[in-house]
């Protein structure tokens, strides 16, 4: 026969039959795992140092991918200019500038000035 205590509905709030922690996590967060692993020292060298040394030795031997990774990490990825060709259509919707903050108005003015500079240099 079934246990009569288990046939009662749960009480609101705390009920001893229900654990409050929820379902246990299967894996720890990946960021913590990476930080722990890369920070561990083995033979006086951390994981980050070991990776850097391998990457550097590959770059020196001519591995372009390793060279690019090092340069991207140190200098940042190169920006790539994108040109958009075509017409931009807008709706004839009025904008209430009173709703914008001072920072938003300054940003809007900066964008308008940049657009005016671009159109004036195109017409020359």
One DSSP character per residue, the chain reads ---GGGGSPPPSS--TTS-TT-SPPSS--HHHHHHHHHH-EETTEEHHHHHHHHHHHHHHTT-HHHHHHHHHHHH-PPP------S----------GGGS-HHHHHHHHHHHHHHHHHHHHH--
* pLDDT for the residue 59: 94
* pLDDT for the residue 95: 74
* pLDDT for the residue 67: 93
Asked if residue 62 belongs to a domain, the reply is: yes
Domain holding 56, by residue range, is: 28-78
Is the pLDDT higher at 104 or at 15? Answer: 104
Asked if residue 123 belongs to a domain, the reply is: no
Asked if residue 1 belongs to a domain, the reply is: no
* pLDDT for the residue 120: 65
**pLDDT for 59-92, tens place per residue?**
999 999 999 999 998 888 888 888 878 777 777 7
Asked if residue 36 belongs to a domain, the reply is: yes
- Number of separate domains in the chain: 1
Q: What is the mean pLDDT of residues 89-100?
A: 77
């Amino acid at each position: 026969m079934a246990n009569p205590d288990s046939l009662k509905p749960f009480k609101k709030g705390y009920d001893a039959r229900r654990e409050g922690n929820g379902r246990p996590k299967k894996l720890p967060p990946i960021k913590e795992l990476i930080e722990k692993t890369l920070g561990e020292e083995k033979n006086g060298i951390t994981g980050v140092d070991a990776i850097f040394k391998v990457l550097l030795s590959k770059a020196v031997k001519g591995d372009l991918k390793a060279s690019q990774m090092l340069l991207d990490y140190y200098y940042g990825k190169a920006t790539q200019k994108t040109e958009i060709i075509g017409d931009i259509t807008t709706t004839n919707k009025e904008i209430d500038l009173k709703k914008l903050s001072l920072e938003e108005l300054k940003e809007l003015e900066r964008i308008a000035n940049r657009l005016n500079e671009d159109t004036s240099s195109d017409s020359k």
